[in-house]
Amino acid sequence: MLGLSGDRAGPLCLPYNVTIHPDPVSGMDLPNLDRPELFLGRELSLVEFNRRVLAQTVDRDVPLLERLRYMCITSTNMDELFEVRIAGLKQKARLGVAVADIDRRSPQETLALLSERCHALVDEQYRILNEELLPALEAEQIRFIRRTEWTAEQDAWLRHYFEHELLPVLSPIGLDPAHPFPRILNKSLNFIVALRGKDAFGRSSGMAVVQAPRALPRLIRLPPETGSGPYDFVFLSSVIHAYASELFPGMKVLSIHQFRVTRNSELFVDEEEVDDLMRALEGELPSRRYGDAVRLEVADNCPPDLTEFLMKTFELTPDDVYQVNGPVNLNRLQAIIDLVDRPYLKFPPFTPRLPAELAQGASLFEVLRKKDVLLHHPFDSFVPVIDFLRQAAKDPDVLAIKMTLYRTGADSALVDALVRAARGGKEVTVVIELRARFDEEANIAVANRLQEVGAHVVYGIVGYKTHAKMALVVRREQGELRDYVHLGTGNYHARTARLYTDYGLMTADRAIGDDVHKIFLQLTSLGKVSKLNRLLQSPFTLFDGLVERIRREAKNAEAGRPARIVVKINSLVEKRIIQELYRASQAGVEIRLVVRGMCSLRPGVPGVSENIEVRSIVGRFLEHTRVYYFENAGKPEVFCASADWMERNLFRRVETCFPIENARLRKRVIHELDYYLHDNTQAWILQPDGRYERATPADGEEPLSAQQALLAEICGE
The rounded radius of gyration (Å) of the Cα atoms in the chain is 27
pLDDT of residue 441: 67
pLDDT digits (tens, 9 = 90+) for 236-273: 999 999 999 999 888 899 999 999 999 987 644 333 33
φ, ψ (nearest 5 deg) of residue 55:
-60, -25
Q: Which residues contact 121 (CB under 8 A, 6 or more apart)?
A: 47, 50, 51, 54, 74, 78
pLDDT of residue 281: 40
Torsion, Cα 43 44 49 50, to 10 degrees, reads 90
pLDDT of residue 278: 46
φ, ψ (nearest 5 deg) of residue 341:
-95, 75
| Alpha carbons 124 and 75: distance in angstroms, whole number | 12
| Alpha carbons 369 and 690: distance in angstroms, whole number | 48
Mean pLDDT of 583-596: 97
- Is the pLDDT at 5 greater than 50? The verdict is no
Q: Which residues contact 644 (CB under 8 A, 6 or more apart)?
A: 569, 570, 571, 572, 626
Instruction: Please check whether residue 616 is in contact with residue 596, taking contact to mean a CB–CB distance below 8 angstroms.
Output: yes
Instruction: Please check whether residue 444 is in contact with residue 278, taking contact to mean a CB–CB distance below 8 angstroms.
Output: yes
pLDDT of residue 464: 87
| Alpha carbons 566 and 594: distance in angstroms, whole number | 8
H helices of 453-600, in order, are 510-524, 542-558, 575-586
φ, ψ (nearest 5 deg) of residue 176:
-155, 180
Mean pLDDT of 518-529: 84
- Is the pLDDT at 4 greater than 70? The verdict is no
| Alpha carbons 290 and 8: distance in angstroms, whole number | 18
Q: Beta partners for 475?
A: 398, 482
Instruction: Please check whether residue 473 is in contact with residue 484, taking contact to mean a CB–CB distance below 8 angstroms.
Output: yes
pLDDT digits (tens, 9 = 90+) for 316-342: 999 999 999 999 999 989 999 999 999
| Alpha carbons 518 and 468: distance in angstroms, whole number | 13
Residues of the chain with CATH 3.30.1840.10: 141-341
Residues of the chain with CATH 3.30.870.10: 356-534, 537-715
Superfamily per CATH, domain 35-123: Polyphosphate kinase N-terminal domain (1.20.58.310)
Closest listed residue to residue 465, CA positions, set 644, 660, 283:
644
Q: Which residues contact 217 (CB under 8 A, 6 or more apart)?
A: 236, 335
| Alpha carbons 112 and 147: distance in angstroms, whole number | 37
| Alpha carbons 360 and 524: distance in angstroms, whole number | 34
Helix (H) or strand (E) holding 431: strand 427-432
| Alpha carbons 367 and 317: distance in angstroms, whole number | 62
Instruction: Please check whether residue 620 is in contact with residue 647, taking contact to mean a CB–CB distance below 8 angstroms.
Output: no
* 537-715 CATH fold: Endonuclease; Chain A (3.30.870)
Q: Which residues contact 109 (CB under 8 A, 6 or more apart)?
A: 100
- Is the pLDDT at 645 greater than 80? The verdict is yes
| Alpha carbons 591 and 470: distance in angstroms, whole number | 29
User: How sure is the predictor about 392, in pLDDT bands with cuts at 50, 70 and 90?
Assistant: very high
Active site residues: 467
- Is the pLDDT at 3 greater than 60? The verdict is no
CATH code 3.30.1840.10 for 141-341: yes
Instruction: Please check whether residue 455 is in contact with residue 418, taking contact to mean a CB–CB distance below 8 angstroms.
Output: yes
Instruction: Please check whether residue 492 is in contact with residue 469, taking contact to mean a CB–CB distance below 8 angstroms.
Output: yes
φ, ψ (nearest 5 deg) of residue 152:
-60, -40
Chosen CATH of 356-534 out of 3.30.870.10, 2.60.40.420, 3.50.50.60, 3.40.50.1820:
3.30.870.10
Amino acid at 253: V
In 3-state terms the chain splits into helix, strand, coil percentages (rounded to 5) of 40, 20, 40
End-to-end CA, the chain: 20
How far is the CA of 529 from the CAs of 15, 429, 466, 492, 533, in angstroms? 9, 20, 16, 26, 13
What's the chain's average pLDDT? 88
| Alpha carbons 55 and 471: distance in angstroms, whole number | 38
pLDDT of residue 270: 39
Instruction: Please check whether residue 176 is in contact with residue 205, taking contact to mean a CB–CB distance below 8 angstroms.
Output: yes
The model's pTM: 0.89
User: How sure is the predictor about 202, in pLDDT bands with cuts at 50, 70 and 90?
Assistant: low
pLDDT digits (tens, 9 = 90+) for 153-189: 999 999 999 999 999 998 888 877 556 788 888 999 9
User: How sure is the predictor about 275, in pLDDT bands with cuts at 50, 70 and 90?
Assistant: very low
How far from the centroid of its chain's Cα atoms is residue 54's Cα? 16
pLDDT of residue 401: 96
Burial 218-245 (b: 16+ CB within 10 A, else e): bbbebeeebebeebbbbbbbbbbbbbbe
How far is the CA of 574 from the CAs of 45, 256, 663, in angstroms? 14, 48, 31
Q: Is the dihedral of CA 141, 143, 145, 146 positive or negative?
A: negative
pLDDT of residue 616: 98
| Alpha carbons 511 and 136: distance in angstroms, whole number | 57
Closest listed residue to residue 616, CA positions, set 688, 673, 693:
693
Mean pLDDT of 187-196: 92
- Is the pLDDT at 198 greater than 80? The verdict is no
Q: Beta partners for 418?
A: none
Report which of residues 458 and 123 the model is more confident about.
123
- Is the pLDDT at 684 greater than 70? The verdict is yes
| Alpha carbons 256 and 253: distance in angstroms, whole number | 7
Q: Which residues contact 584 (CB under 8 A, 6 or more apart)?
A: 550, 551, 553, 554, 557, 563, 565, 591
H helices of 371-434, in order, are 383-394, 413-423
pLDDT digits (tens, 9 = 90+) for 344-358: 999 999 999 998 888
pLDDT of residue 210: 93
Amino acid at 526: L
Angle between helices 277-284 and 440-452 (to 10 degrees): 140
Show the CA angle centred on residue 284, arms to residues 281 and 287, nearest 5°: 150
| Alpha carbons 244 and 46: distance in angstroms, whole number | 39
Q: Which residues contact 469 (CB under 8 A, 6 or more apart)?
A: 404, 406, 487, 488, 489, 490, 491, 492, 504, 642, 656
- Is the pLDDT at 452 greater than 90? The verdict is no
Q: How many CB atoms lie within 10 A of CB 697?
A: 11
